[in-house]
Amino acid sequence: MSVISRHPAYSFFVFVVLGLTFYLLGPYQPSAVPYTTGRAWPAHDLPGRLERSEHIYQKLLKDRQGLIKKWGPTVKDIQLFPPNVSPWPAYTVWDFFPAAYNCPHEIQRLGALGDGGKWVCGLSRVEHKPDCIVYSFGINYESSFEAEILANTQECQIWGYDFSVKSFGPQISSTQASRTHFKPYGLAGKDSHGPEDEHKMYTLESLMKLNGHTHIDILKIDIERWEFETLTALLKPYLASGRPLPFGQLQLEVHIWNMNFEEYLAWWEMLEAAGLRPFWTEPNLVYQNYNVGGSTDLAEYSFLNIKGSNAFIKDASSHHHD
């Protein structure tokens, strides 16, 4: 006589437990999950996650307008860092620009835990990518970020630029050096590299042409406020033509010196129009700690480019470089 026939109740209990275990441990793939306004959203596929993230980000844009109206009521009335007066304005400029976009992959900090490290979305997406390309502007002889990219990928090649130093920092080992390329050039809104120029300056597009590149997977920029001129010049032709930007994600330190809120908002909205979405931010507390007066006008941002077909928004079988 079988165990099932001798102990039917016990057997039924075992089957229930096993079935529940397989269900919980197996891949959870409902066709859709409920979200706001009763809409059904894809649960796990990459296009669905990106769509949901953009929906969340669009809500942030509405919230930003509400915050401007509350404390303005116009952009001309908003101060970057309002004084401590009554009634106390409970905001700073950074509250209008939170990193509200959700990276659809793992997020990890690469590089030093102090100044120098950057947050990256989905490094695993380029871990084995044969044509992985990284550009890094602003080396300052500290290359822990670049060293960790090299350590965690198989094929990534890194191009570094900084006219204030002569090489990458010592964090890059001799075994990693074969995948690095350094030039003492600066990044700017226009080319300036004649014999009379103290430093050779290039636009991003000019450097990409010199290197024979049509895409960049990860772009790091830390160039002491030149990011405003540089990115404005870079983005304008892409916005005019409707072409996607030639990089997958951007790690950027923002230096909001000598600006007003209206100027900064216009520049930031240009980034958004070009398809850049911030997925991580943190104030530069090292700078704040050592700066007289405790200024908070530097912040680190990481952006994902949601337009085009880069490695972070398209699966390997479908992405190509526009």
State the alpha helices, DSSP H only, in the chain: 3-6, 8-25, 46-71, 144-151, 204-211, 227-241, 261-273, 285-290
Whether 91 contacts 269, CB under 8 Å = no
Closest CA to 206 of 163, 140, 161: 161
Q: Residues 131, 157: contact at Cβ < 8 Å? A: no
**Averaged pLDDT, groups of 10, the chain, 322 residues long:** 50 46 39 44 80 97 96 94 83 95 97 86 97 94 94 97 93 95 94 84 95 97 86 94 97 91 96 98 68 73 97 79 58
Closest CA to 308 of 248, 236, 223: 248
CB 234 within 8 A of CB 285: no
pLDDT in tens, 154-186: 999 999 999 999 999 999 999 999 999 999 999
Cα separation, 248 vs 304, whole angstroms: 6
Check residue 25 and give its pLDDT.
42
Report the C-alpha gap between 97 and 64 in whole angstroms.
Answer: 8
Q: What is the pLDDT of residue 34?
A: 40
pLDDT of the residue at 313:
97
Predicted local distance difference test score (pLDDT) of residue 278: 98
Question: Domain 46-305, what architecture?
Answer: 3-Layer(aba) Sandwich (3.40)
**Domain ranges (residues) in the chain:** 1-30, 46-305
The residues, ordered by sequence, that sit 6+ positions from 205 with a Cβ below 8 Å of its Cβ are 234, 246
Give dist(CA 311, CA 90) in Å, integer: 39
Spatial distance between the Cα atoms of 189 and 79, rounded to a whole number of angstroms? 27
Helix axes 261-273 and 227-241, enclosed angle (nearest 10): 40
User: Which pair of tokens denotes residue 3?
Assistant: 């165990």
Per-residue pLDDT, 292: 56
DSSP secondary structure of 115-173: TT-EEEE-GGGGTT-TT-EEEEE--TT--HHHHHHHHT-SS-EEEEE-TTSSS--TTS-
Q: CA-to-CA distance for 210 and 251, rounded, in angstroms?
A: 22
Q: Phi/psi of residue 62, each to 5°?
A: -70, -40
Q: What is the pLDDT of residue 114?
A: 75
CA atoms 74, 236, 132, 210: torsion sign: negative
Tokens in use for 130? Answer: 């044969």
